[in-house]
């Protein structure tokens, strides 16, 4: 499975008329690269988690809007921008929690609107250039997050992470995994522990896959085993990603993160959130204001099972994310450094 680390998570397909991604719904059993270009396909790629993870979704959205701009027939600049905005709004409606999605689309629309006297074909090319820059900047940001976070990992540490905030959710280094990859490159020996992450199993299917493929000593554990690992003294530090960070540093991340933070606080284990500054949403005052996506009941009752494992008439609660209070977070690691919080 080492081939996985040789494939771009998100990239333009040859000709720049489609976005090329790894279909993550098929992992770990099959590594399949697909090209998506149709507006419904681009929307579904986000909605149905073929591409996932806040940073990767942002990059994908920028590239998707660039692709869609090429199919807009209006040559009048005003009409073109109106149609482009409609496409951006359509893509933005695919998932509500990850701020990188709306951020990238706003960046692309700003690029389109500030081209002055440029005609439509020139704007289309500028959109392509902006999408490429968003992608390149993301890769640089991930490495910087890793460089700031790696010194926190000492020899023989146990490092715990939740969900997938690795290269499959980003580009090359990931966010929560970036300190691990950089530490591994520097020859630091440590053990990585991956929460399986119910109900979609991103930790089991994705993080465990990519870390082990990179040669990192990796152990998979069920979500409800993390506190046991901490009590046994096997965890020295926790790194997680983020889909949105409020102005007060309350953080929305994959469901189960808040329980992990509570356990880490109890056992006095440092708990770090790794995310680019684009994930910080200053318009959101606290975590109470972050919209939380709720997903289909079947992800809990039927997915991954040969037969349905719950009563047919049972009600299901299936939020995709929860909010970790800033008081439980040791620090936020961004491309600008480590911002320590007072718990």
The H or E element containing residue 334 is strand 331-334
Rounded CA separation 217/267 (Å): 23
- The residue among 235, 192, 240 whose CA lies nearest residue 213 is 192
- 243 catalytically annotated: yes
Neighbouring-strand partners of residue 253? 322
For residue 10, the SS3 value is strand
CB-side neighbour CA atoms (13 Å) of 48: 11
For residue 340, the SS3 value is strand
Q: How far is CA 246 from CA 52, 71, 104, 333, in A?
A: 21, 36, 18, 15
Q: Count Cβ atoms within 10 A of the Cβ of residue 170 and give its class: 0-12 exposed, 13-18 middle, 19 or more buried.
A: buried
Which token pair is 252? 């929305």
Rounded CA separation 257/264 (Å): 10
Q: 5-22: b or e for each residue (b if 16 or more CB lie within 10 Å)?
A: eeeebbbbbeebebbbbb
- The residue among 100, 88, 48 whose CA lies nearest residue 243 is 100
> Active-site residue among 195, 236, 243, 281?
243
Which are the catalytic amino acids? 243
């Amino acid at each position: 499975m080492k081939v996985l680390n040789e494939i771009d998570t998100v990239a333009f397909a040859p000709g720049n008329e489609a976005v090329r991604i790894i279909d993550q719904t098929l992992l770990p059993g099959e590594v399949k690269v697909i090209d998506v270009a149709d507006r419904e396909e681009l929307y579904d790629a986000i909605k149905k988690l073929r591409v996932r993870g806040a940073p990767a979704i942002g990059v994908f959205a920028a590239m998707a809007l660039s692709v869609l701009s090429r199919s807009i027939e209006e040559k009048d600049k005003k009409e073109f921008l109106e149609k482009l905005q409609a496409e951006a709004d359509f893509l933005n409606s695919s998932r509500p929690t990850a701020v990188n999605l709306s951020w990238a689309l706003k960046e692309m629309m700003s690029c389109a609107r500030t081209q002055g006297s440029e005609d439509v074909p020139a704007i289309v090319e500028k959109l392509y250039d902006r999408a490429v820059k968003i992608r390149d900047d993301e890769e640089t940001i991930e490495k910087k997050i890793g460089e700031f976070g790696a010194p926190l990992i000492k020899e023989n540490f146990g490092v715990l992470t939740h969900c997938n905030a690795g290269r499959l959710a980003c580009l090359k280094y990931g966010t929560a995994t970036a300190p691990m990859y950089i530490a591994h490159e520097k020859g630091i020996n440590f053990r990585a522990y991956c929460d399986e992450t119910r109900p979609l199993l991103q930790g089991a299917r994705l993080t465990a896959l990519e870390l082990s493929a990179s040669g990192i000593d990796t152990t998979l554990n069920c979500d409800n085993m993390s506190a046991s690992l901490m009590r046994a003294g096997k965890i020295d530090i926790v790194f997680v990603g983020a889909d949105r960070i409020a102005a007060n540093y309350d953080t929305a991340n994959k469901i189960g993160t808040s329980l992990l933070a509570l356990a880490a606080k109890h056992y006095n284990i440092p708990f770090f959130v790794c995310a680019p500054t684009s994930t910080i949403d200053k318009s959101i005052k606290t975590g109470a204001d972050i919209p939380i996506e709720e997903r289909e009941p079947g992800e809990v009752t039927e997915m991954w099972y040969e037969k349905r494992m719950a009563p047919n008439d049972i009600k299901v609660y299936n939020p995709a994310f929860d909010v970790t209070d800033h008081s439980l977070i040791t620090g936020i690691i961004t491309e600008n450094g480590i911002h320590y919080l007072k718990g």
